Structure 1
Amino acid sequence: MRLFVAAWPPGEVRDALRSIPRPTLPGVRWMPEDTWHVTLRFLGEVADPDPVVDSLRAEVPGHGPQPATLDAATTRLGPVLVVRVAGLDRLASLVRSATAPAGDDPRSDPFVGHVTVARARGRGVPDALVGLGLAGGPVTWSVDEVALVRSITGAAGARYETRATVPLG
């Protein structure tokens, strides 16, 4: 099964993300609210999630809640439209280390916290979508747990199923 470790945003962050204008443009698909998350580590295919959960439970608790800040506007990140999230670098590093033996090799590039809000086909994200402001942004919140999430792809796109959560406190 395809797994990743994520931080799910709370209500006030989802409210800010909901406030982004969503013009209808050819080739642009706006992501449904139930997919909004910050990926801390993508694992890829993992046959048995139990050792991943065990590793997270052994390494993550005791580090305490981590402050995260959602930016005030959208930006382009490769082929997707995102809202950047600052403050989770240490947590992502901890998650990468705890889950290193599982799935795909951990990425060596720097962590870039973000929530994907739209995907675009063809030429990528149109310039008109970059810099769309969020009501009430930037928004700071406390990440107090991480989730091991299964990605299930289908004709309508991906849906996510939380397999386990691990508190940071």
Structure 2
Amino acid sequence: MRLFTALEISSEHKRLLSSLRRQLPGFVWYPPDTYHLTLRFIGDIRSRPMLEELDHALARLSSDAFQIEPAGVGVISQPGRFRLVATISPSTGLVTLQSRIEATLRRCGIAMEKRRFQPHISLGVGQGDAGPNIIRWVQQNNLMKGKALTAEHFTLFRSYRTSDVPHYEVCAEYPLGDAMLLGQESWMQRE
């Protein structure tokens, strides 16, 4: 299973982000229902005992609920392609949760993430370098703001590889703050 942890975003925020979509040659927009804020990509996990260990470790993770705030848009360049993203202000609560997830995964034997955490929501992908149309889109939308969103849980997702757009399945939700007292069942226990 290809797994990652993320914060889900509200329908209202998905609508706001999808309103930024424009026809951009050579660019593929992700469907709004796939928008999320990745906390940590885990990778392929095939061992059932490892899946159970990850689930139990993430369920024990303690962190307070916090707010995330949109902070504009930007471009993340990668070799041969780029992504348009909605950037997120790196609040103390967000950075703390991401650090705790990273430490939890390392204790489970998952190698440390090589990239620095840059909170964002991927909106779509393009091939090659970001050209003038993309730069103009960023300039037109870089002051985009939205209401703060309260993160009350984080989610373990399974990612399916497809040829066109990403597909994600919720595996488990882990409550933050006072919600931790509610005792939700994890996906591993339902199987």
Shared fold by TM > 0.5?
yes
| Residue pair 1:145, 1:165 contacting (<8 A) in 2 also | yes
Question: Residue 105 of structure 1: CA displacement?
Answer: 1.6
Measured in 1, the distance between the counterparts of 2:109 and 2:3 equals: 8
3-state SS of 1:50 partner? helix
| 1:98 to 2:100 alignment | no
| Residue pair 1:74, 1:82 contacting (<8 A) in 2 also | yes
| 1:18 to 2:18 alignment | yes
**Rg larger in structure:** 2
| 1:27 to 2:26 alignment | yes
TM-score by length of 1: 0.87
Question: Residue 76 of structure 1: CA displacement?
Answer: 0.8
| Residue pair 1:74, 1:133 contacting (<8 A) in 2 also | yes
| Residue pair 2:70, 2:144 contacting (<8 A) in 1 also | no
Q: Kindly provide the amino acid, as one letter, of the partner of residue 94 in structure 1.
A: R
Q: Which residue of 1 aligns with 2:189?
A: none
Number of residues of Structure 1 aligned to a counterpart in Structure 2 = 165
Measured in 1, the distance between the counterparts of 2:143 and 2:130 equals: 25
Which string of whole-angstrom CA distances, capped at 9 and with x for unpartnered residues, describes residues 60-100 of structure 1? 3xx221211112x3211222110111222111111111122
Identify the match of residue 85 of structure 2 among 82, 87, 104: 82
* Structure 1 unmatched ranges of 5 or more: none
Measured in 2, the distance between the counterparts of 1:46 and 1:132 equals: 41
- Cα RMSD of the aligned pairs, angstroms, is 2.1
Shift of the 101–152 alpha-carbon distance from structure 1 to 2, 3 Å rule, reads farther
Aligned pairs (5 A) from 1:108-123: 108-123=114-129
Shift of the 103–123 alpha-carbon distance from structure 1 to 2, 3 Å rule, reads farther
Q: Which residue of 2 aligns with 1:41?
A: 40
Measured in 1, the distance between the counterparts of 2:168 and 2:16 equals: 21
- Higher helix residue share: 2
TM-score by length of 2: 0.78
Aligned pairs (5 A) from 1:140-151: 140-151=148-159
Q: Kindly provide the amino acid, as one letter, of the partner of residue 160 in structure 2.
A: I
Q: Kindly provide the amino acid, as one letter, of the partner of residue 99 in structure 1.
A: L
Q: Percent identity?
A: 25
Measured in 2, the distance between the counterparts of 1:11 and 1:117 equals: 15
| Greater Cα shift, 143-152 or 105-114 | 105-114
Measured in 2, the distance between the counterparts of 1:37 and 1:103 equals: 25
| Residue pair 1:44, 1:103 contacting (<8 A) in 2 also | no
Measured in 1, the distance between the counterparts of 2:6 and 2:65 equals: 14
Measured in 2, the distance between the counterparts of 1:150 and 1:91 equals: 20
Ranges of 4+ aligned residues in structure 1 off by more than 6 Å: none
